[in-house]
Structure 1
């Protein structure tokens, strides 16, 4: 555990299932949630002993973790506090929906050291929130932010989605400006993706979901990067913007290609040499976690070739790009050994920038990131 300083814990319960969401989630039910927490604790205890495992970041995601009752939330936070040495935890995040908090829940977070809240705002428009299947209203965003700040939790991130059905450029500008007016230190913003097994996917298949044209989506992204910069939020990853010092330390664990534990239904983890994914269906997860504490659905062995590819994909998501020296310290050679022609070609296209220190995406490259990443897949015949 000492080499793994980040922990993700998945709470799969929601009061409402959003029409676009493909994460592991189930309608909240008190008994089901109680059973789940017992199973979750058994899974964690199987992998983590009681010797005071030091953690740098903890992220409780979902679902909607704050859908838990006060007693359930306290039971979870108390268990985490006992199981891990939180004295050196730099960032302790919980995801939440606006309107989920009351004074009791916020004070509970403070008591157990939660110091960052990620709010699923999505859009500042009541009608569009309803069309997304969201329960909260815009007024709940303002009330929740005020409640958190009044209780001393000021490291608050908001999530926005753009390129929504029937969303115009002016509508997105208005939504983004309302987010900026809150003056919060972090923003995550994503273009809507139509995922299988969602309500939106079914509507899309039937031709009943009208999304903005691709050129409008590109313009929204340019508006996003320009507006956040004007408000002092620096882009540090393709979809993430922060005031200096407020970058998500936990998410940087992923983008820096470092190790982390993932606990809970549908959670993913990355430990030396392996990536694993847990069972998603709730009854099956609970049954296996209670049986042996190992509710793993699949384990992927990560060889050197795959580690190198992931180092490039993930590193290029960051605005700092892939640090050549860090790459060399991990793999014993610089990226040019394997990727010289790809890098030169992409620099010529204007999609990459390269200097002595790093390789990183250009503004145009950010819009074509997936095409760029494909150029860093290695042939099976490549000798490393």
Structure 2
């Protein structure tokens, strides 16, 4: 049984310079036809009752009020959410009318794509909002009793100083929000940043500064009202992202929409990316699947480790044993020993989890759990 639902809205008012998600400039797009087909795809699900729903993009709040209500009504007709219902939003698009609509249809968590509070860096990132819009969006969310508000912040940005990142962290914490997700910039192919970098027109801070920024992030959060529960995520107690935990715990979920990914009945699948092709498939009463693959036991064990180790609690040794009828030591014994000896991994008898140093170079640790 899939515990969660991810819904993809691939439209944006502006395309950000760093983004590699499936997205399209919303002007002249067949948005209404897309929503009709998305609703048709969601109608094929097996499970009506789910724990979490996450509506992401693109930018879901790029939809008009009428389009947004159409989507919200369809989701309510098709699913019952028992725990967490999240919408991604851009601060400048989160009008009072849209917030009231989201609240009326049961959305209890907002994830705001803030990235930085520095207006010059926001321009570099291609964002449409300014720092003042962030405070307005948070205040409106509080005014209408949205249960949980999360901010996304980025670091290791072109031209970003540690002082600028420190200032963004201070401003985010001053808003008394419930959750922060903070990631270092990764240059992904097919992004504007990647193309500029290849042409020698984009300079990134050095890796040492990136590590220093991450350590500053951990230090700031440790002295704040937010607790670290994953490598890049910090929350008030009871405000962890339950939807993202489904991914990190390697549990199953539906993915709906152009370019969405899902994991159901042991099969990982991805939908086709182009909006017109997605619409054509569903109009012809066909599923919009681009590819799917049965996840082998070997792959499940790998994923159990490198996804689970992202969480500060780590990977449960008992859960691994019960799930695969083998212990972690049976499968990954030598690598686990070496990582513990190198003080990158800690074993408290019940869980394996990353040390502070292991969190900084997490990707190097995760690679050790890819079976040859």
With the shorter chain as reference, the TM-score category is: over 0.9
Structure 1 segment 178-189 matched on structure 2, within 5 A:
178-189=171-182
In structure 2, the partner of 1:134 is 127
2:34 equivalent to 1:36? yes
Find 1:264's aligned residue among 257, 260, 264.
257
Contact 2:154 2:183 in 1 (8 A): yes
After superposition, the C-alpha distances for 1:81-135 in whole angstroms (9 at most, x for unaligned) are: 111123xx21000000001122221111111100000000000011110111011
What displacement does 1:292 show? 2.3
Task: State the shift of 1:202 in Å.
Answer: 1.1
Offset, 1:29: 3.4
SS in 1 for 2:259: coil
1:279 aligns with 2:268: no
Q: What is the aligned partner in structure 2 of residue 9 from structure 1?
A: 7
* Deviating more after overlay: 23-32 vs 362-371: 23-32
What's the counterpart of residue 53 of structure 1? 48
Cα distance per residue 1:323-374 (max 9 Å; x no partner): 0011111111221111111111000111100121011110111122111111
Find out whether 1:216 has 2:214 as its counterpart: no
Matches of residues 107-146 of structure 1 in structure 2 within 5 Å? 107-146=100-139
Deviations 1:170-220 (A, max 9, x none): 111111111111110100001001111111011101111111111111000
Return the alpha-carbon distance in structure 1 between the equivalents of residues 287 and 101 of structure 2: 29
User: Does the Cα contact within 8 Å between 1:188 and 1:239 map onto a contact in 2?
Assistant: yes
**Shift in Å, 1:289:** 2.1
Matches of 1:110 and 1:272, distance apart in 2: 32
Give, in angstroms, the shift of residue 293 of structure 1. Answer: 4.2
Aligned equivalents of 1:5, 1:192: Cα separation in 2: 30
Which residue in the other structure is 1:352 paired with? 345
Match of 2:80 among 75, 78, 85: 85
Per mean C-alpha deviation after superposition, the further-off stretch among 21-30 and 265-274 is: 21-30
2:57 to 38, 47, 62: 62
- Equivalent in the alignment of 1:362: 355
Structure 2 stretches lacking a partner, 5+ long? none
Normalising by the residue count of structure 1, what TM-score does the alignment of the two structures yield?
0.95
Deviation at 1:30, TM superposition (A): 6.6
d(CA) in 2 for partners of 1:67, 1:155:
21
What is the aligned residue count? 372
Q: TM-score when scaled to structure 2?
A: 0.98
2:17 to 7, 16, 19: 19
Equivalent pair of 1:46/1:293 in contact (CA under 8 Å): no
Query: Hey, what does 1:343 align to over in structure 2?
Result: 336
* CA distance in structure 1 between the partners assigned to 2:370 and 2:103 by the alignment: 44
Return the match for 2:241 from 241, 248, 269: 248
1:289 aligns with 2:289: no
TM-superposed CA distance for 1:310, in Å, is 0.5
**Displacement, 1:141?**
0.4
Decide whether the 8 Å contact of 2:3 with 2:251 is kept in 1: no
Q: Tell me which residue corresponds to 1:95.
A: 88
Indicate which of 169, 172, 176 corresponds to 1:176: 169
RMSD over aligned Cα atoms: 1.1
CA distance in 1, matches of 2:189, 2:361: 23
Residue 382 of structure 1 aligns with which residue?
none
SS of the aligned residue for 1:46 comes to coil
What SS class does the counterpart of residue 349 from structure 2 fall into? coil
CA apart distance, 1:11: 0.3
